[in-house]
Amino acid sequence: MVDYELLKKIIEAPGVSGYEFLGVRDVVIEAFKPYVDEITVDKLGNVIAHKKGKGPKVMLAGHMDQIGLMVTHIEKNGFLRVAPVGGVDPRTLIAQRFKVWVGPNEFVYGVGGSVPPHIQKPEQRNKAPTWDEVFIDIGAESKEEAEEMGVKIGTVITWDGRLERLGKHRLVSIAHDDRIAVYILVEAARQLAETDADVYFVATVQEEVGLRGAKVSSFGIDPDYGFALDVTIAADVPGTPEHKQISQLGKGVAIKIMDRSVICHPTIVRWMEEIAKKHEIPYQWDILTGGGTDAGAIHLNKAGVPSGGISIPARYIHSNTEVVDERDVDAAVKLTVKVLEEIPELKL
């Protein structure tokens, strides 16, 4: 099962897109150190952990940024107006607790607010709130007090989310998207024993705002093969027909066939299926029509990179209550390790 304490460190460290240096980057560097030959940080902030080999050059990407908010205005009475960084639904802000990051690993608390339903107009009660109708309350009574607390225009904000166990096999937390994949990369680096592959484990930045970290890091690495590790939708909840669930918790790692950003190389897809069957790794398929991953940038690098995807089913993504299953995480680690062990023999 998962190393709970390591996962907790990775997930709970701050790192909104473009601001990964606020905490998560250092945690990831320390996590990789014992298991790779060298670690570099490129100009955009990607952490590149290199395990040297003489065979094909393989890049595995899991993004370490998370969605969040950015302060756009401080009201005279101290309330904060915000804009989304990444795909944030304003409905997920109401009545939630937040951390307002005034420095590296330094925050003040806030809560999400809007006009109380008791005094809303009838037409407002039947509509989702807009960005103009939500705000963050940090307890300040004036703009000056908010600024004294360290808040500025451009300050970033995350939900106050923690890693917790949910039932027997499930884990709930903020930022499983995509810190669970970063954890899997670290575990794969730890467990990888023998391979001739030249492996680059990359914790990318700014995936949530356009696959930007993967674009520059794949250009620098110039891999022969690329793999993106990311969550995929598990809509296995009441009211969703089975054919629309995408994936299901507890049914294994999801081998990506396609998403909005990439059509995975068919030979790689079937080869990964063969590996899963050979090593008795539970798996399912991932066809996601409403989202993308770092593979979308990697496979378009230079003259093209044959790419695949290793996906972790997750419920309620892009919220502070994302849920994954430890058994799927374990399966993803096993598949990642076996892919790296056997990729020198892959023939396209």
Tens digits of per-residue pLDDT, 119-155? 666 666 777 788 988 999 999 999 999 999 999 999 9
Please report, in range form, the residues annotated as the binding site. Answer: 63, 177, 208, 230, 318
% residues pLDDT > 70 (the chain): 97
Please report which confidence band the pLDDT of residue 67 belongs to, taking 50, 70 and 90 as the band edges: very high
Phi, psi at 301, each rounded to 5°: -65, 130
Nearest alpha-carbon partner for 184 in 314, 44, 346, 342: 314
Please report which confidence band the pLDDT of residue 80 belongs to, taking 50, 70 and 90 as the band edges: very high
Q: Compute the average pLDDT of residues 182-208.
A: 96
Q: Taking the model in full, what pTM does it have?
A: 0.95
Q: Where are the domains of the chain?
A: 4-66+174-345, 68-159
pLDDT of residue 194: 82
Mean pLDDT, the chain, integer:
95
Q: In which residue are the tokens 């892919």 written?
A: 339
207 a catalytic residue? yes
Contacting residues for 159 by C-beta, under 8 A, at least 6 apart:
68, 96, 97, 98, 99, 174, 319, 320
- In this predicted structure, the answer to whether residue 282 has a pLDDT above a threshold of 80 is yes
pLDDT of residue 113: 85
Please report, in range form, the residues annotated as the binding site for Zn(2+). Answer: 63, 177, 208, 230, 318
- In this predicted structure, the answer to whether residue 293 has a pLDDT above a threshold of 80 is yes
Specify the CATH number of the domain 68-159: 2.40.30.40
Q: In which residue are the tokens 């695949």 written?
A: 308
Please report which confidence band the pLDDT of residue 115 belongs to, taking 50, 70 and 90 as the band edges: low
pLDDT of residue 116: 66
Decide: residue 10, CB within 10 A, 0-12 exposed, 13-18 middle, 19+ buried. buried
- In this predicted structure, the answer to whether residue 16 has a pLDDT above a threshold of 70 is yes
pLDDT of residue 179: 98
Question: pLDDT tens digits, residue range 149-178?
Answer: 999 999 999 999 999 999 999 999 999 999
pLDDT of residue 127: 77
Give domain 4-66+174-345's CATH superfamily. Zn peptidases (3.40.630.10)
Angle between helices 24-32 and 176-191 (to 10 degrees): 20
Selected catalytic residue, list 207, 280, 341, 345? 207
pLDDT of residue 120: 66
Calculate the alpha carbon distances from 36 to 20, 179, 226, 335 in Å.
21, 19, 18, 19
